[in-house]
Structure 1
């Protein structure tokens, strides 16, 4: 009876929140809308949404067979949870009126009030403000989904949903505000993050490390992927969607979008090739899994720099990221930390490499152009973001554990999360 009351109470709270919003004003002046920019951003938003199902296949193929469905659902469910959360309060926290450059006022766009089809010059001069908000939603969706690879095969599903909500409100939203809001702290420092290297990948990677540490090791560390074709399919979908992720961050059909598109492809291609040849150099097979991981690492590393570097520099970024993350994974495997799918050495380290190389290579303001300020602030931001995300996430894992036991029982882990959490399983 108590569980039912909690459920009905939650539904009631959601309905009350939706009803409290003031009247929307969607039909306003649309004369400033550029049709080409708007068409591209609608497509780019759809591209980025596709990345989350792609991530589900990517992660689902790498876990053991008895936890494929659970792992995939942990990514897929973010499409629902974060979409609602973003409309109610998430967008306001990330892009609302700035409070000390750290977080947005939750009242600014509560329930999307004031998010109309007219452009908002502070964020997007040629596309509807609503479209900008929906594009940013896709980034908010995939970030907590990325974290799930670190604690795959041992977390309660309902606990994960609670953590996802807390992470989005207290970690993702402040980072997005500080980095992308015109009055954000990091943005005013001159920290460059074209499409989410800091906000998405570093935050997810570092939160993943905190999660792997907090939840502890699996009872049985199985390193044999259940379905390599799933991994290849997921990589393809992610690579495809990443063009919307990076090129879409130009917020228009313009030259910056073309540059970001080209850099995204070349960095990923370089990283993939570098990864498999590095594996061969170390007397390992040139595997499909290695090629896929290499491609993703290249995509991660180019994300913060996509619109700020040349094509040649994007190739360099892809190569460096492949080498650094490859060795980081080898080292991580030997540690006591059970990061199931190597989220930290892939996304966390890849994001760090990309952030630092952006400070070095960014056109006109990078270290190689004789400017030191951008690089120095990138280093400071790296430390601040890492500390904030790691300890903040540890606190949220602890809070989640207090409210709803976060780890499955030993017998449930032995059965597999598909059966114990969802009553489903993959046929033999």
Structure 2
């Protein structure tokens, strides 16, 4: 495919305005303010009050997520926003007996997903992100580059626009991915029900003291009950259910309960087979989550009930000139190592650096061949970075949901990693809010 040979800067499309897409846009524009790039996203521009609405919390790591924040010139702003969820970690069994508890070491601060999005958007000039735009497909151009096909909200006309580079930062079911690889995400054997409790601290002070100010995890018999604190004194509750069946949620009738919180509560803690014999604190947390959803605390919110998907732990592809993937689109994994957003953000930073390295100083013109070589090198380095984390995530999935003695094996491994972190050799995992980011 012939591509244009005389552009001073490549024209770039970033599909997806999540953390990876926004870090890439922010860093590229910080390095080259006149860069001709556009970010496309299906969602609406977040409202000014969205940052204060309850959302999952993300812990950013110094060698990845925090490094990306610093490289985008946002570290001081970030430090003023972190802290809605502490680094405290409580691990318990299904009976509520605490098996491990720690307070972190301050190196992995938490920030709500909404606050992180708002922070990154503050560094991207207005007009760079095209909101309410549905990307339909990516196809080769008849002349040069790649053609992005999309529709704007409320418009039936399909727009075709040509780019020198299209980056898929659009999550699990990426619209860019099919032009690069035939490999698609598959069922991980774990399903997730997400509930939100606003104002937990004031509405349920006893539960607030049980789950603490950070993350709380209870495990046993192929199930998990996780709590993660967030803005407005809120908490997100994640109920994880393991099953080998890909149709488990529909076969069990759970999918239909996304808009029926009272029925879901009965299934989870009443006469159902799920959490009836768990600790009273876990059951109270689930009841509170279902009750909050029944009250409709936020217009348009509903319970999320979905399977967790993943890509193969050794996923790669043959480089396709003019296209690449980052974040979940490249290495989707379950949230049980707490690394997804950190990998996505360091992907974006390294890709920005690769693009910049291929742009010669004026008056020389940008060379597509040089850009492709830099991106191909970036992809290989990304896989080397991601594959060990994917392996680790699979290990934790097994220890959490397949080990009959859970959480004993998970706690042992966690404490081994904590000791390694103290010796400067990495850190323990965290449960990361990644579920809602994997949209169709």
Could you say which TM-score interval applies, normalised by the shorter chain?
A: under 0.3
Q: Which structure: larger Rg?
A: 2
TM-score by length of 1: 0.26
